[in-house]
Amino acid sequence: MKRNIKEIVSHFSIAGEFVGFSKVNIGHINDSYFVKTSAAGHPGYFLQWINNYIFKDVEGLMNNISAVTGHLAEKLAGDPNLIFKVIEIIPCTDGKKFYSDSAGNYWRLYNFIDNMHGYDVVENTKIAYEGGKAFGIFMSLLADLPADHLTETIPDFHNMEKRLETFFHSLTANPADRVKDIQQEIDFVKKRAGQMLTIPALIKSGKLPKRITHNDTKFNNILFDKTNHAMCIVDLDTVMPGSILFDFGDAIRTGANTAQEDERDLSKVDINLPIYEAYTQGFIKSTRHTLTDVEINNLAFSARFMTFIIGLRFLTDFVDGDPYFRTLYPEHNLDRAKVQFRLIEVMEKNADKMNEIVMQAIGKVGKERVS
Ligand code: GN1
Ligand code: MG
Protein backbone atom coordinates (compact mmCIF):
# COMPACT_ATOMS: atom_id res chain seq x y z
CA MET A 1 0.00 0.00 0.00
CA LYS A 2 1.59 3.30 -1.13
CA ARG A 3 1.13 5.99 1.49
CA ASN A 4 1.72 9.69 1.12
CA ILE A 5 3.14 10.37 4.58
CA LYS A 6 3.83 14.03 3.88
CA GLU A 7 0.21 14.60 2.89
CA ILE A 8 -1.06 12.71 5.95
CA VAL A 9 1.16 14.74 8.30
CA SER A 10 -0.13 17.98 6.75
CA HIS A 11 -3.44 17.36 8.54
CA PHE A 12 -1.79 17.62 11.99
CA SER A 13 -0.71 20.71 13.93
CA ILE A 14 3.04 20.22 13.82
CA ALA A 15 5.90 22.58 14.65
CA GLY A 16 7.88 23.48 11.52
CA GLU A 17 7.61 21.93 8.07
CA PHE A 18 7.65 18.23 7.19
CA VAL A 19 11.24 17.24 6.28
CA GLY A 20 11.12 13.44 6.03
CA PHE A 21 10.12 10.16 7.64
CA SER A 22 11.34 6.65 8.32
CA LYS A 23 9.42 3.45 9.03
CA VAL A 24 9.71 2.11 12.59
CA ASN A 25 9.36 -1.67 12.76
CA ILE A 26 7.64 -2.22 16.08
CA GLY A 27 4.52 -4.10 17.18
CA HIS A 28 2.28 -6.58 15.37
CA ILE A 29 -0.78 -4.40 14.84
CA ASN A 30 -0.34 -0.75 13.87
CA ASP A 31 2.20 0.72 11.42
CA SER A 32 4.60 3.31 12.83
CA TYR A 33 6.75 6.09 11.36
CA PHE A 34 9.20 8.62 12.73
CA VAL A 35 8.55 12.07 11.28
CA LYS A 36 11.15 14.81 11.19
CA THR A 37 10.27 18.47 10.82
CA SER A 38 12.25 21.65 10.26
CA ALA A 39 11.58 23.01 13.79
CA ALA A 40 14.99 23.59 15.40
CA GLY A 41 15.72 21.41 18.42
CA HIS A 42 12.42 19.56 18.07
CA PRO A 43 12.61 15.77 18.68
CA GLY A 44 10.13 15.02 15.89
CA TYR A 45 6.91 13.02 15.88
CA PHE A 46 5.66 9.46 15.98
CA LEU A 47 2.99 8.78 13.34
CA GLN A 48 0.80 5.68 13.47
CA TRP A 49 -1.63 4.05 11.11
CA ILE A 50 -4.31 2.63 13.40
CA ASN A 51 -5.41 -0.88 12.52
CA ASN A 52 -9.17 -0.47 12.19
CA TYR A 53 -9.73 -4.22 11.66
CA ILE A 54 -8.63 -4.59 15.28
CA PHE A 55 -9.65 -1.26 16.80
CA LYS A 56 -13.21 -0.90 15.54
CA ASP A 57 -13.99 2.27 17.51
CA VAL A 58 -11.10 4.62 16.77
CA GLU A 59 -12.83 7.59 18.33
CA GLY A 60 -13.37 5.66 21.59
CA LEU A 61 -9.76 4.47 21.45
CA MET A 62 -8.36 7.97 21.06
CA ASN A 63 -10.66 9.33 23.77
CA ASN A 64 -9.27 6.66 26.11
CA ILE A 65 -5.70 7.59 25.34
CA SER A 66 -6.52 11.25 25.82
CA ALA A 67 -8.13 10.53 29.23
CA VAL A 68 -5.20 8.36 30.32
CA THR A 69 -2.40 10.69 29.17
CA GLY A 70 -4.23 13.72 30.61
CA HIS A 71 -4.62 11.99 33.96
CA LEU A 72 -0.99 10.88 34.03
CA ALA A 73 0.30 14.33 33.08
CA GLU A 74 -1.71 15.91 35.90
CA LYS A 75 -0.44 13.41 38.44
CA LEU A 76 3.17 13.82 37.39
CA ALA A 77 2.94 17.60 37.46
CA GLY A 78 1.74 17.36 41.07
CA ASP A 79 4.58 15.13 42.31
CA PRO A 80 8.19 16.24 41.75
CA ASN A 81 9.44 12.82 42.94
CA LEU A 82 7.93 11.10 39.95
CA ILE A 83 10.33 11.52 37.05
CA PHE A 84 8.38 10.10 34.14
CA LYS A 85 7.42 11.18 30.66
CA VAL A 86 3.99 10.87 29.11
CA ILE A 87 3.17 10.51 25.44
CA GLU A 88 1.11 13.36 24.10
CA ILE A 89 -1.47 13.33 21.32
CA ILE A 90 -0.78 15.95 18.65
CA PRO A 91 -4.17 17.16 17.41
CA CYS A 92 -5.19 17.61 13.81
CA THR A 93 -5.51 21.07 12.29
CA ASP A 94 -9.30 20.76 12.79
CA GLY A 95 -8.79 19.92 16.48
CA LYS A 96 -9.62 16.20 16.20
CA LYS A 97 -7.46 13.57 17.93
CA PHE A 98 -6.97 11.52 14.76
CA TYR A 99 -7.18 11.93 11.01
CA SER A 100 -9.23 9.68 8.75
CA ASP A 101 -8.28 9.80 5.10
CA SER A 102 -10.56 9.35 2.09
CA ALA A 103 -9.59 5.67 1.77
CA GLY A 104 -10.91 4.97 5.28
CA ASN A 105 -7.50 4.80 7.00
CA TYR A 106 -7.04 6.20 10.50
CA TRP A 107 -3.93 8.08 11.58
CA ARG A 108 -2.65 9.59 14.81
CA LEU A 109 0.40 11.59 15.77
CA TYR A 110 2.34 11.64 19.06
CA ASN A 111 5.31 13.63 20.25
CA PHE A 112 8.45 11.52 19.78
CA ILE A 113 10.12 10.57 23.07
CA ASP A 114 13.79 10.93 22.11
CA ASN A 115 17.00 9.52 23.59
CA MET A 116 15.22 6.43 24.89
CA HIS A 117 15.56 2.74 24.23
CA GLY A 118 13.62 -0.45 25.00
CA TYR A 119 14.44 -4.14 25.48
CA ASP A 120 13.05 -7.18 23.66
CA VAL A 121 15.21 -9.41 25.84
CA VAL A 122 16.11 -7.95 29.24
CA GLU A 123 19.85 -7.69 29.81
CA ASN A 124 20.18 -7.52 33.59
CA THR A 125 18.31 -7.51 36.89
CA LYS A 126 18.57 -3.75 37.40
CA ILE A 127 16.63 -3.16 34.20
CA ALA A 128 14.06 -5.80 35.21
CA TYR A 129 13.60 -4.21 38.65
CA GLU A 130 13.16 -0.75 37.09
CA GLY A 131 10.63 -2.14 34.61
CA GLY A 132 8.58 -3.82 37.32
CA LYS A 133 8.55 -0.67 39.39
CA ALA A 134 7.51 1.43 36.40
CA PHE A 135 4.52 -0.72 35.41
CA GLY A 136 3.46 -0.81 39.07
CA ILE A 137 3.65 2.97 39.35
CA PHE A 138 1.75 3.35 36.07
CA MET A 139 -1.10 1.26 37.45
CA SER A 140 -1.06 3.07 40.79
CA LEU A 141 -1.26 6.45 39.06
CA LEU A 142 -4.32 5.35 37.12
CA ALA A 143 -6.08 3.87 40.15
CA ASP A 144 -8.26 6.96 40.64
CA LEU A 145 -9.17 7.50 36.98
CA PRO A 146 -12.89 6.65 36.94
CA ALA A 147 -13.34 3.46 34.91
CA ASP A 148 -16.46 4.85 33.23
CA HIS A 149 -14.22 7.39 31.48
CA LEU A 150 -12.82 4.50 29.43
CA THR A 151 -14.35 2.35 26.74
CA GLU A 152 -13.36 -1.28 26.25
CA THR A 153 -11.20 -0.85 23.14
CA ILE A 154 -11.15 -4.60 22.45
CA PRO A 155 -14.04 -6.38 24.18
CA ASP A 156 -13.09 -9.57 26.06
CA PHE A 157 -9.42 -8.95 25.35
CA HIS A 158 -8.14 -11.18 28.18
CA ASN A 159 -11.28 -13.23 28.62
CA MET A 160 -9.93 -16.78 28.64
CA GLU A 161 -13.38 -18.35 28.25
CA LYS A 162 -14.03 -16.37 25.08
CA ARG A 163 -10.52 -16.97 23.73
CA LEU A 164 -10.92 -20.73 24.16
CA GLU A 165 -14.37 -20.65 22.59
CA THR A 166 -13.02 -18.71 19.59
CA PHE A 167 -10.15 -21.17 19.22
CA PHE A 168 -12.44 -24.20 19.13
CA HIS A 169 -14.71 -22.47 16.62
CA SER A 170 -11.71 -21.79 14.41
CA LEU A 171 -10.67 -25.43 14.63
CA THR A 172 -14.11 -26.46 13.40
CA ALA A 173 -14.16 -23.88 10.61
CA ASN A 174 -10.54 -24.61 9.62
CA PRO A 175 -10.55 -21.83 7.00
CA ALA A 176 -6.88 -22.12 5.99
CA ASP A 177 -6.67 -25.93 6.18
CA ARG A 178 -3.97 -25.69 8.85
CA VAL A 179 -5.55 -27.73 11.65
CA LYS A 180 -3.73 -30.83 10.42
CA ASP A 181 -0.40 -29.17 11.36
CA ILE A 182 -1.15 -28.44 15.00
CA GLN A 183 -2.33 -31.62 16.77
CA GLN A 184 0.36 -31.33 19.44
CA GLU A 185 -0.57 -27.73 20.19
CA ILE A 186 -4.29 -28.60 20.37
CA ASP A 187 -3.50 -31.29 22.94
CA PHE A 188 -1.40 -28.80 24.88
CA VAL A 189 -4.33 -26.36 25.03
CA LYS A 190 -6.91 -28.99 26.01
CA LYS A 191 -4.74 -30.30 28.81
CA ARG A 192 -4.46 -26.89 30.48
CA ALA A 193 -7.79 -25.24 29.65
CA GLY A 194 -9.45 -26.16 32.96
CA GLN A 195 -6.63 -24.76 35.04
CA MET A 196 -6.60 -21.54 32.99
CA LEU A 197 -10.31 -21.01 33.64
CA THR A 198 -9.67 -20.55 37.36
CA ILE A 199 -8.75 -16.91 36.71
CA PRO A 200 -11.97 -15.87 34.91
CA ALA A 201 -13.88 -17.68 37.69
CA LEU A 202 -12.15 -15.50 40.30
CA ILE A 203 -12.89 -12.39 38.23
CA LYS A 204 -16.56 -13.30 37.79
CA SER A 205 -17.06 -13.99 41.48
CA GLY A 206 -15.54 -10.60 42.33
CA LYS A 207 -12.68 -12.22 44.28
CA LEU A 208 -10.16 -10.68 41.88
CA PRO A 209 -10.65 -6.90 41.75
CA LYS A 210 -10.98 -5.03 38.47
CA ARG A 211 -8.53 -2.19 38.11
CA ILE A 212 -7.45 0.07 35.30
CA THR A 213 -4.64 -1.84 33.69
CA HIS A 214 -2.38 -1.45 30.67
CA ASN A 215 -3.16 -4.86 29.17
CA ASP A 216 -0.17 -4.95 26.81
CA THR A 217 2.78 -4.85 29.19
CA LYS A 218 5.31 -6.33 26.82
CA PHE A 219 8.63 -5.38 28.33
CA ASN A 220 9.51 -3.35 25.23
CA ASN A 221 6.61 -1.01 25.99
CA ILE A 222 8.81 0.53 28.70
CA LEU A 223 11.26 3.19 27.51
CA PHE A 224 14.55 3.63 29.37
CA ASP A 225 16.89 6.62 29.40
CA LYS A 226 20.66 6.45 28.93
CA THR A 227 21.22 5.59 32.59
CA ASN A 228 18.62 2.81 32.35
CA HIS A 229 15.92 4.46 34.39
CA ALA A 230 12.43 3.52 33.20
CA MET A 231 11.06 6.81 31.92
CA CYS A 232 7.93 6.22 29.90
CA ILE A 233 5.21 3.62 29.34
CA VAL A 234 4.03 3.51 25.74
CA ASP A 235 1.37 1.73 23.67
CA LEU A 236 -1.75 2.80 25.53
CA ASP A 237 -4.25 1.26 23.09
CA THR A 238 -5.54 -1.32 25.53
CA VAL A 239 -5.61 0.63 28.79
CA MET A 240 -9.00 -0.40 30.20
CA PRO A 241 -10.46 -2.24 33.18
CA GLY A 242 -8.69 -5.55 33.81
CA SER A 243 -6.86 -7.57 36.44
CA ILE A 244 -3.42 -6.74 37.77
CA LEU A 245 -2.55 -10.34 36.87
CA PHE A 246 -2.75 -9.44 33.18
CA ASP A 247 -0.12 -6.74 33.54
CA PHE A 248 2.25 -8.71 35.73
CA GLY A 249 1.96 -11.88 33.67
CA ASP A 250 2.53 -10.33 30.25
CA ALA A 251 5.65 -8.52 31.41
CA ILE A 252 7.11 -11.80 32.69
CA ARG A 253 6.12 -13.58 29.47
CA THR A 254 8.25 -11.11 27.53
CA GLY A 255 10.87 -9.83 29.98
CA ALA A 256 11.87 -13.10 31.62
CA ASN A 257 11.91 -15.27 28.49
CA THR A 258 15.53 -15.94 27.51
CA ALA A 259 14.50 -16.07 23.83
CA GLN A 260 12.64 -13.86 21.39
CA GLU A 261 8.88 -14.24 21.06
CA ASP A 262 9.27 -15.97 17.68
CA GLU A 263 12.49 -17.95 18.27
CA ARG A 264 12.55 -21.05 16.07
CA ASP A 265 15.08 -22.92 18.19
CA LEU A 266 12.90 -23.89 21.12
CA SER A 267 15.87 -25.05 23.18
CA LYS A 268 16.69 -21.36 23.67
CA VAL A 269 13.38 -20.72 25.44
CA ASP A 270 13.70 -20.64 29.21
CA ILE A 271 12.58 -18.63 32.20
CA ASN A 272 15.29 -16.36 33.54
CA LEU A 273 14.61 -16.60 37.27
CA PRO A 274 16.90 -13.75 38.39
CA ILE A 275 15.12 -11.44 35.90
CA TYR A 276 11.75 -12.74 37.12
CA GLU A 277 12.78 -12.14 40.72
CA ALA A 278 14.01 -8.60 40.09
CA TYR A 279 10.88 -7.66 38.11
CA THR A 280 8.69 -9.15 40.85
CA GLN A 281 10.48 -7.15 43.54
CA GLY A 282 10.14 -3.89 41.60
CA PHE A 283 6.49 -4.52 40.81
CA ILE A 284 5.57 -5.51 44.35
CA LYS A 285 7.41 -2.55 45.79
CA SER A 286 5.23 -0.13 43.84
CA THR A 287 1.91 -2.01 44.21
CA ARG A 288 2.08 -3.63 47.67
CA HIS A 289 -0.18 -0.97 49.20
CA THR A 290 -3.05 -2.11 47.01
CA LEU A 291 -2.48 -5.85 46.35
CA THR A 292 -5.08 -8.26 47.78
CA ASP A 293 -4.30 -11.79 48.99
CA VAL A 294 -6.04 -13.35 45.99
CA GLU A 295 -3.88 -11.25 43.66
CA ILE A 296 -0.69 -12.15 45.53
CA ASN A 297 -1.53 -15.85 45.52
CA ASN A 298 -2.06 -15.83 41.76
CA LEU A 299 0.77 -13.53 40.74
CA ALA A 300 3.26 -16.27 39.85
CA PHE A 301 0.59 -18.26 37.99
CA SER A 302 -0.38 -15.14 36.02
CA ALA A 303 2.84 -15.50 34.02
CA ARG A 304 1.58 -18.87 32.75
CA PHE A 305 -1.94 -17.54 32.30
CA MET A 306 -0.83 -14.65 30.09
CA THR A 307 1.64 -16.78 28.16
CA PHE A 308 -1.17 -19.24 27.53
CA ILE A 309 -3.71 -16.66 26.38
CA ILE A 310 -1.26 -15.02 23.98
CA GLY A 311 0.00 -18.38 22.73
CA LEU A 312 -3.63 -19.34 22.15
CA ARG A 313 -4.24 -16.10 20.23
CA PHE A 314 -1.19 -16.73 17.99
CA LEU A 315 -2.37 -20.29 17.39
CA THR A 316 -5.94 -19.18 16.62
CA ASP A 317 -4.62 -16.61 14.18
CA PHE A 318 -2.51 -19.30 12.49
CA VAL A 319 -5.60 -21.49 12.10
CA ASP A 320 -7.58 -18.51 10.75
CA GLY A 321 -4.93 -17.72 8.11
CA ASP A 322 -3.23 -14.82 9.97
CA PRO A 323 -5.83 -12.04 9.73
CA TYR A 324 -4.81 -10.42 13.06
CA PHE A 325 -1.09 -10.40 13.82
CA ARG A 326 1.40 -9.16 11.25
CA THR A 327 3.43 -12.12 10.00
CA LEU A 328 6.63 -12.28 7.96
CA TYR A 329 6.28 -15.90 6.76
CA PRO A 330 3.48 -18.52 6.71
CA GLU A 331 4.32 -20.33 9.99
CA HIS A 332 5.19 -17.18 11.91
CA ASN A 333 2.15 -17.31 14.20
CA LEU A 334 2.66 -21.03 14.80
CA ASP A 335 6.30 -20.43 15.74
CA ARG A 336 5.21 -17.70 18.15
CA ALA A 337 2.64 -20.04 19.72
CA LYS A 338 5.25 -22.79 20.09
CA VAL A 339 7.56 -20.42 21.97
CA GLN A 340 4.74 -19.47 24.34
CA PHE A 341 3.87 -23.10 25.00
CA ARG A 342 7.49 -24.06 25.62
CA LEU A 343 7.79 -21.15 28.04
CA ILE A 344 4.73 -22.45 29.91
CA GLU A 345 6.37 -25.86 30.23
CA VAL A 346 9.50 -24.41 31.78
CA MET A 347 7.44 -22.22 34.08
CA GLU A 348 5.44 -25.25 35.18
CA LYS A 349 8.69 -26.90 36.22
CA ASN A 350 9.62 -23.77 38.18
CA ALA A 351 6.16 -23.09 39.64
CA ASP A 352 7.11 -23.56 43.31
CA LYS A 353 10.21 -21.43 42.93
CA MET A 354 8.24 -18.67 41.19
CA ASN A 355 5.67 -18.64 43.99
CA GLU A 356 8.37 -18.53 46.63
CA ILE A 357 9.93 -15.52 44.93
CA VAL A 358 6.61 -13.65 45.12
CA MET A 359 6.24 -14.47 48.80
CA GLN A 360 9.81 -13.43 49.55
CA ALA A 361 9.27 -10.12 47.75
CA ILE A 362 6.09 -9.54 49.77
CA GLY A 363 7.97 -10.32 52.97
CA LYS A 364 10.77 -7.94 52.04
CA VAL A 365 8.48 -5.00 51.29
CA GLY A 366 6.53 -5.73 54.47
CA LYS A 367 9.73 -5.41 56.51
CA GLU A 368 10.81 -2.26 54.71
CA ARG A 369 7.51 -0.64 55.55
CA VAL A 370 7.86 -1.47 59.26
CA SER A 371 11.41 -0.19 59.62
C1 GN1 B 1 0.17 -7.20 20.04
O2 GN1 B 1 1.33 -4.90 18.44
P3 GN1 B 1 1.87 -5.16 19.79
O4 GN1 B 1 3.16 -5.90 19.71
O5 GN1 B 1 1.96 -3.93 20.65
C6 GN1 B 1 -1.12 -7.44 20.79
C7 GN1 B 1 -0.83 -7.90 22.22
C8 GN1 B 1 0.04 -9.14 22.20
C9 GN1 B 1 1.29 -8.85 21.39
C10 GN1 B 1 2.11 -10.10 21.25
C11 GN1 B 1 -3.92 -4.96 20.50
O12 GN1 B 1 0.83 -6.10 20.59
O13 GN1 B 1 -2.03 -8.21 22.89
O14 GN1 B 1 0.40 -9.52 23.48
O15 GN1 B 1 0.98 -8.34 20.09
N16 GN1 B 1 -1.91 -6.23 20.82
C17 GN1 B 1 -3.22 -6.25 20.48
O18 GN1 B 1 3.41 -9.78 20.94
O19 GN1 B 1 -3.78 -7.28 20.15
MG1 MG C 1 0.51 -3.16 21.72
Cα atoms in the Cβ-side hemisphere of radius 13 Å centred on 21: 23
- Taking the centre of ligand 1 as the mean of its atom positions, its distance from the CA of residue 235, in whole angstroms, is 9
- Taking the centre of ligand 1 as the mean of its atom positions, its distance from the CA of residue 157, in whole angstroms, is 11
Band (pLDDT 50/70/90 cuts) for residue 1 is: low
- Taking the centre of ligand 1 as the mean of its atom positions, its distance from the CA of residue 313, in whole angstroms, is 10
Q: What is the DSSP secondary-structure string of 193-224?
A: HHHHTHHHHHHHTTSS--EEE-S---GGGEEE
CA distance 285 to 89: 30
pLDDT, residue 148, reads 82
pLDDT, residue 371, reads 33
> Rounded mean pLDDT of 135-149?
92
Indicate the top mutation candidate among 216, 253, 325, 339 to test ligand 1's pocket, ranked by most ligand atoms within 8 A of CB.
216
- C-alpha dist (Å) from residue 144 to 71, 81, 149: 9, 19, 11
> Rounded mean pLDDT of 29-47?
97
State the ligand closest to the CA atom of 236. Answer: 2
- C-alpha dist (Å) from residue 321 to 112, 148, 311, 333, 349: 34, 36, 15, 9, 33
pLDDT, residue 121, reads 86
Checking if the pLDDT of 333 tops 60, the result is yes
pLDDT, residue 362, reads 97
Q: Are 8 and 101 in contact (CB under 8 A)?
A: yes
Q: What percent of the chain has pLDDT over 70?
A: 98
> Rounded mean pLDDT of 41-67?
97
- Taking the centre of ligand 2 as the mean of its atom positions, its distance from the CA of residue 235, in whole angstroms, is 5
What does the radius of gyration of the chain's CA atoms come to, in whole angstroms? 21
The dihedral formed by the CA atoms of 305, 311, 316 and 317, expressed in degrees to the nearest 10:
130
> Rounded mean pLDDT of 226-236?
97
Reported residue count of the chain is 371
Question: Nearest-5° angle of CA 191, CA 197, CA 202?
Answer: 155
The per-type count for the chain, helices as H runs and strands as E runs, is: 11, 9
- Taking the centre of ligand 1 as the mean of its atom positions, its distance from the CA of residue 355, in whole angstroms, is 26
Indicate the top mutation candidate among 26, 65, 163, 218 to test ligand 1's pocket, ranked by most ligand atoms within 8 A of CB.
218
CA distance 71 to 76: 9
Please identify, by atom number, the ligand 1 atom nearest to the C-alpha of residue 218. Answer: 14
Residue 141's φ and ψ, nearest 5 degrees, are -65, -30
The helix/strand/coil state of 274 is: helix
State the ligand closest to the CA atom of 325. Answer: 1
Lining residues, ligand 1, CB within 6 Å: 27-29, 54, 216, 218, 235, 237-238, 261, 310
What's the pLDDT tens digit per position in 165-206? 999 999 999 999 999 999 999 999 999 999 999 999 999 999
Please identify, by atom number, the ligand 1 atom nearest to the C-alpha of residue 30. Answer: 2
Mean pLDDT of the chain: 96
